[in-house]
Homo-oligomer: A and B are copies of this chain.
Amino acid sequence: MNKAEILIIDDEVQIRKLLEITLQSNNYIVNQAENAKNGLITAENHPPDMIILDLGLPDEDGQSVLQKLREWYTNPIMILSVKNNEADIIRALDNGANDYLVKPFRTGELLARIRSALRNSAADDGESIITCGEITIDLAARTIKKNNESIKLTATEYKLLSLLAKNEGKVLMHQYILREVWGPGYINQSQYLRVFIAQLRKKIEADANRPEYIITESGIGYRFINNRD
B-binding residues in A (CB < 8 A): 74, 86-87, 89-90, 93-94, 96-99, 106, 108-109, 111-113, 115-116, 119-120, 123-124, 140-143, 154-155, 169-171, 217-220, 223
Contact = CB atoms under 8 A, between A and B. Distances in A.
Given A90-B109, A96-B119, A155-B220, 15 more contacts: A86-B106, A86-B108, A89-B106, A89-B108, A90-B111, A90-B112, A93-B113, A98-B116, A99-B116, A141-B170, A142-B170, A142-B171, A143-B170, A154-B218, A155-B219
Contact of A94 (B112, B140, B219): B112
Nearest to A170: B141
A34 B73 CA distance: 39
A109 B86 contact: yes
A158 to B, nearest CB: 8
A219 B116 contact: no
A112 B141 contact: no
Could you say how many copies of this chain the assembly holds?
2
Nearest to A113: B93
A84 to B, nearest CB: 10
A155 B218 contact: yes
B141 A169 contact: yes
A116 B97 contact: yes
A142 B220 contact: yes
Contacts of A143: 169-171, 223
11 contacts: A74-B123, A89-B108, A90-B109, A98-B116, A123-B124, A124-B124, A141-B169, A143-B170, A154-B218, A154-B219, A155-B219
A115 B94 contact: yes
